[in-house]
Amino acid sequence: MSELPEPAAMTAKQNLRNLFQIISMWILIGLAAAASVATILSAFNVIPWMPLGPDSAPDSALWLQITGTAVLVGLCAFLPSVYQIQRLERSHRDFKISMKDIATAYRMSHAADREGVFALSTEFEDVRARLEHARKHPDLGHLEPEILELAAQMSHMTRDLALVYSKDKVTRARDFLRQRQQELDTFNENLSLALTVTQELQRWQRDVEASELEANRQMDRLEKDLKEILPQLGYELDDEQGELPLSAPTDNEGKVIALSPSASGKSSPAADLGDLRTTGLDRPN
């Protein structure tokens, strides 16, 4: 049993034969064009007719040139059909399944399946419907029937996946996630506002506590100053009750000097300090 030629050698031979056929076709077209131009110019006596020799008939060169030109032009008329046949033969002979073409056809069929183009049916009818859809698609008309059939079978096998990830379900999922994202953004904005308000309240509370502490410190300093000044003025402080009730002043003989608030027109310092404690800020616990 003879060995088959390698694919590279076969490809080289086929490319060489195709090149030879193309060159032959262009040579035929060139000869037909040159013969047509020469015949037209000879008909208008611009150039002489093709000479055949002294022993030839008088008009034999004329008819021979016209006949040759007609034959060449007639052969050129068959070139489009010959080229079409060669192209079909070359496409069938060199046909190979391309994964890119299969992926393209499968992607088109799978996209149509996700949009709900194909209804539930038997396997044969489902594959046939997908194959018809691929054949009618404007971007897949140039592909071979085998590629379209393979893509239709692949699309049929993945129909469950297309139902799960259908276009409507994916759209609903994206809308749901977009709504959740908006709600999360709103919550983050409210949380930032709440944190700002809380920090402001805490700072305000610290300021108020500092002001109260300063006021109580000034009150203690006032009490200390009064305790130092009032005895010098003749008032004695009663420390047992923790307040500042002042005893009446005495003279050098120990007699009590009566001081009437109505007579002096002034209230006692103890009463003023008591009023200040009553109306002042209490110390924080």
Query: 69 lies in which domain range?
Result: 7-93
Residue 169 belongs to a domain? no
Q: How far is CA 228 from CA 55, 221, 225, 243, in A?
A: 165, 11, 5, 15
Mean pLDDT of 40-60: 74
Q: Quick one: 47 and 139 in the same domain? A: no
Residue 284 belongs to a domain? no
Least confident of 108-112, 142-146, 170-174, 211-215: 142-146
Each residue's pLDDT tens digit, 216-227: 999 999 988 888
| Euclidean distance between CA atoms 65 and 69, whole angstroms | 6
Q: Quick one: 107 and 30 in the same domain? A: no
Residue 252 belongs to a domain? yes
Residue 89 belongs to a domain? yes
Q: What is the pLDDT of residue 118?
A: 47
| Euclidean distance between CA atoms 76 and 47, whole angstroms | 24
Residue 285 belongs to a domain? no
Confidence of residue 24 (pLDDT cuts 50, 70, 90): confident
Q: Quick one: 80 and 109 in the same domain? A: no
| Euclidean distance between CA atoms 129 and 134, whole angstroms | 9
Contact predicate 101/143, CB 8 Å: yes
| Euclidean distance between CA atoms 114 and 165, whole angstroms | 7
Each residue's pLDDT tens digit, 183-207: 999 999 999 999 999 999 999 999 9
Domain finish residue from 112, 141, 164: 164
Q: Quick one: 80 and 104 in the same domain? A: no
Q: Quick one: 15 and 44 in the same domain? A: yes
Which residues does 207 contact at the CB level (< 8 Å), separation at least 6?
Answer: none
Q: Quick one: 13 and 84 in the same domain? A: yes
Taking alpha carbons only, the member of 156, 157, 140 closest to residue 102 is 140
Q: What is the pLDDT of residue 179?
A: 92
Confidence of residue 61 (pLDDT cuts 50, 70, 90): confident
Q: What is the pLDDT of residue 192?
A: 94
Residue 41 belongs to a domain? yes
Q: Quick one: 142 and 111 in the same domain? A: yes
| Euclidean distance between CA atoms 167 and 156, whole angstroms | 17
Question: What's the token pair of residue 199?
Answer: 């920090």
Q: Quick one: 12 and 87 in the same domain? A: yes
Residue 1 belongs to a domain? no
Each residue's pLDDT tens digit, 63-118: 888 888 888 888 888 888 877 877 776 665 555 555 566 566 666 666 666 565 44
Alpha carbon 89 to chain centroid, angstroms: 47
Q: Quick one: 89 and 115 in the same domain? A: no
Q: What is the pLDDT of residue 240?
A: 46
Question: What's the token pair of residue 19?
Answer: 């090149």
Place of tokens 């592909």: 143
Domain count, the chain: 3
Sign of CA dihedral 211, 215, 216, 220: positive
| Euclidean distance between CA atoms 43 and 95, whole angstroms | 50
Q: Quick one: 87 and 103 in the same domain? A: no
Mean pLDDT of 159-181: 79
Q: Quick one: 229 and 214 in the same domain? A: yes
Verdict on whether the full-model pTM lies above 0.85: no
Residue 124 belongs to a domain? yes
Q: Quick one: 117 and 203 in the same domain? A: no
